Amino acid sequence: MGISVELNVLVVWNASNVVFNEVNALSGRYQGIVVDTHVKRLARRLGLTDQKDPDKIEGDLMALFPRQQWRQVGNALIRLGRQYCRARNPDHHSCPLRDICPRHIGD
């Protein structure tokens, strides 16, 4: 099964935006920022967006960063969200963005 057939199957099965975009990103076809739960949470916590809809968050992030950095931005936010800025019990003291995080400046 070729990648284009697999992508069409994902669309037919109504796969989530995240899965579809990530498959496209891995194939080199996607031109955007994958917005998963971590990216959604971090983008809001860091003041990069006030949106809740993943498509609108993606649009806000794409407007802030150059196209060449979109994939790296998504990956970095995912890693940051998994390692430091978890939904429950975030590790603010070890976070590398602590000094610029609008929620915790001056802690």
43 burial (CB, 10 Å; 0-12 / 13-18 / 19+) is: buried
The whole-model pTM stands at 0.73
Q: For residue range 25-59, what is the model confidence (pLDDT) as tens digits? A: 666 666 789 899 999 999 999 999 999 999 999 99
Tokens 């037919």 belong to residue: 12
pLDDT band at 62 (very low <50, low <70, confident <90, very high): very high
- The predicted pLDDT at position 99 comes to 86
